[in-house]
Structure 1
Amino acid sequence: MRKKKQKRLIIWLVVAIVVVVGAIFSFGHAGQKQNKTVTVGLVSPSNADEKIWNQVAKTAKDKYGVTVKTKTFTDYTQPNKALANGSIDLNAFQHYAFLNAWNKANKGSLVAIGKTFITPIHLYSNKYKSLKDLPDGATIAVPNDTSNESRALFVLKNAGLITLKKSAGTLATVADIKSNPHNLKIKELAAEQTARSLDDVDAAVVNTNYAVAAKLSDNKILYTEPVNKDSKQWINLIAANKKDQNKEAYQDVVKAYQTTQVKHLIQKYYGDKEIAAWDLKLK
């Protein structure tokens, strides 16, 4: 009888030890999950962008135990370098065309891990109210980085101001302008300077984040880029280093972004100037 009691006691002790050890491991894992921090690089975020990323951070923390921090850069040349050298974990500022061009130019291996939004860009002017008012010989500023310059030239093409050679492909330069019937002068500037140049040029193609930062009003818009199946390369994204693309915490940040709450905030703050793109069907 005593042996049976001792045997039961040993069994209960073993069970208790297993439960305690399991609890310790579970607690340790949960604590580790709660302490994951992911730093995301942004370029000149507007107040609206900050509020959107605050929502992303809240969802990431509450639902996935991931702490999201953001780091601000002032121009497009910095965030990919910072991502490649490990100064940040992710960045969210560019579209597919920019990422592809950067990788090619820098022998990089950054990859998209999630779509965010697409932003139709605009041709703005402080001097004229419509395209037909632009005079012959007008000076138009465009971003000078490879992908955004190409995008700006396609805006001018779609607006009927120039034509491009078929050989231009998706990365057109001023050398690919086939016809320029209005003798427009294309002024290439850093993307962050295009909005500031509006007092010195006749018109400028300005990326939306810089247009918002400069508080350019809609009544200054001469033309808006169309959104269609050709716009795929202009969809913005969250990027990571290729070796890190499947990290759980990074994927959790993507999931925290691609939510109904974020979609509503994009609509609230940007209206039709910015469109959630992770479930967008381009026609």
Structure 2
Amino acid sequence: MSDQTPLVAPPKKRGRLYALIALAVVVVVALVVGISLAVSSGNAPEETAAGDNAITEGKGSPGDPIVVGVVGASDPHWDAYTEAAAEAGISIEIVDFTDYAQPNPALTEGDLDLNQFQHIIYLAQYNESAGEDVAPIGATAIYPLSLYSSKFTSVDDIPAGETVAVPSDASNLARGLLVLQSAGLIELADGGSPFSTLDDVLPSSKVKVISLEAALTPTSLPDVAAAIINNDFVIDAGLTFDDAIATDDPADESAQPYINIFAARAEDKDDKTLLELVDIFQNTKTVTDALLETSGGTAVLVTTPIAELEESLATVQDAYAAQ
């Protein structure tokens, strides 16, 4: 300021000023002693503790867990995974969803840090239809997609004209139709593809096909001859994987687009903690053993490199865009 205020008090007020200075010195000394005692006794002041937490805590810490969205949180491999992550010093929270339509929007809206429920074809279809760029950051397994029936023990026993249900989401619908075709129940236009729809079912097919939400195909069994049921819903429906009367081959090279993946927002795809969680899932025996047990031994575990997952996603997504 241009108008300097005198720094020395007028003579008649110096006594009071000295008293105030002396009091201030006493207070400062007391504070210094108090802080020293607190630190030496292990009880740092609250402000110092908050500062320390700000440095040491981050994503994956007990106060800020990594939130992972799944369909089927009761599957035992998720408990094994949570424990394995905790042993590595990473706190995770598993959030369960009842159907496949929910986890991707929850991820893009920031309610999740990761999700693990979908294969590459499903993600490609979501990204293309929603205008999003959710990214695969690690592979888990390929699961077979199978046909079940509460009325017939063989596809050969299903009479002509009966109705069969398939999941309604585009990727699993097409895959389900291919299973039905390989089982001799339907014929698809041009031999079928990962993009086949109900419109591609030819009139010469043995059975009629309807589509239902994936979570509802198990409950449709009393009303249809058979239904394609995703692995996530088999056990909850009171079935076993051995009950399947037809299935596809997850070990076939053409099954690569059906690799299940961990997915993250594009801006987080190189996050070290998230990538470490993928590594924990792939390389922890208690996790993979539980996953195989959950799938009835049907899952094929894969550790496909991220670059290959990204390439497969781009290829499938371009094909969807061209439809």
Closer/same/farther in 2, CA of residues 32 and 149 from structure 1, 3 Å limit = closer
Structure-2 residue corresponding to 1:180: 204
SS of the residue aligned with 2:138?
A: strand
Structure-2 residue corresponding to 1:161: 185
Corresponding letter in the other structure for 2:148: Y
SS of the residue aligned with 1:271?
A: coil
How big is the alpha-carbon RMSD for the aligned residues of Structure 1 and Structure 2? 2.3
Unaligned runs of 5+ in 2: 1-50, 306-323
Instruction: Indicate yes or no: 2:232 matched with 1:209.
Output: yes
Corresponding letter in the other structure for 1:209: D
Structure-2 residue corresponding to 1:124: 148
User: Sequence identity of aligned pairs in percent?
Assistant: 32
Structure-2 residue corresponding to 1:55: 80
Relative to its length, the structure with more strand (as a share) is: 1
Corresponding letter in the other structure for 2:145: I
Unaligned runs of 5+ in 1: 1-24
| Separation in 2, partners of 1:255, 1:158 | 35
Contact 1:126 1:220 in 2 (8 A): no
Structure-2 residue corresponding to 1:93: 117
- Give the alignment partner of residue 69 of structure 2, picking from 41, 44, 50: 41
- Normalized against structure 1, the TM-score is what? 0.82
How far residue 121 of structure 1 moved from its aligned partner, in angstroms, is: 1.5
| Separation in 2, partners of 1:118, 1:129 | 25
Instruction: Indicate yes or no: 2:136 matched with 1:112.
Output: yes
- Give the alignment partner of residue 97 of structure 2, picking from 73, 95, 105: 73
SS of the residue aligned with 1:58?
A: helix
Instruction: Indicate yes or no: 2:244 matched with 1:221.
Output: yes
Closer/same/farther in 2, CA of residues 246 and 201 from structure 1, 3 Å limit = same
Q: Summarize deviations over 1:188-245 as a string: whole Å, max 9, x none.
A: 1000000000001010000011112212134632112112011111111110011111
Closer/same/farther in 2, CA of residues 175 and 111 from structure 1, 3 Å limit = same
- Normalized against structure 2, the TM-score is what? 0.72
How far residue 179 of structure 1 moved from its aligned partner, in angstroms, is: 5.7
Q: Summarize deviations over 1:101-128 as a string: whole Å, max 9, x none.
A: 0111111110110011111021000111
- Give the alignment partner of residue 223 of structure 2, picking from 200, 207, 218: 200
SS of the residue aligned with 2:100?
A: coil
Corresponding letter in the other structure for 2:93: K
| Separation in 2, partners of 1:241, 1:34 | 16
